[in-house]
Amino acid sequence: MATNKTTGHLIGYARVSTDDQEAQLQRDALREAGCSRIFTDKASGKSTDRPELAAVLDYVRPGDTLCVWKLDRFARSLIDLVTMVDALSVRGIGFKVLTGALASIDPNTPDGRLMLQVVGAMAEFERSLIKERTQAGLNAAKAQGRTGGRPAVMDADKLTIARARRAKGESVTAIAKALGVSRATLYRALGDDK
């Protein structure tokens, strides 16, 4: 990767998905790259609650470079990546990836930014295609009379039994237990019959 023309510090960010995983490999690589400080999250990449990411984004100053081991440790998606790198750039903060995709591209140069934006546009296009295909599949299933979701717990037979037992004065708790459903499910099924 091309060397950044920044005058500040190299600041590292590492992330592992679960408490069972260890971030030592990432921290070692970030230290070896010259990071003066490293922030580490233990959170899923899909999680929006990544306090150390928020902390590192608050900590970095103009002239600094934010360094990550791999892209998937930093951003939840390529669109998210483009947005965050753009926000860093506006603040005068560089971005560097040590390994994996885009490691040889400097997103702080015009060529690197173009490449990052092309990759982001491709990801957005793919997401749109997936959404269209999913909707087309749902529409086709609906046209054939199929719907998604969980099957109903209370069928017509169970509802008839529940109403008959309720009419005899049996408690909702006893009926729900006998039918193998929750009280809430039984209340919803009985509706105004309560």
**Which secondary-structure segment (H or E) carries 64?**
none
∠ Cα 95 100 102 (to 5°): 45
Mode of pairing for the β-strands spanning 10-16 and 94-97: unpaired
Indicate the helix (H) or strand (E) that contains 15. Answer: strand 10-16
Question: Is residue 17 among the annotated active site residues?
Answer: yes
Catalytic residue among 17, 44, 77, 89: 17
Report DSSP letters for 72-138, one per residue: GGT-SSHHHHHHHHHHHHHTT-EEEE-SSTTTT--TTSHHHHHHHHHHHHHHHHHHHHHHHHHHHHH
Catalytic residues: 17
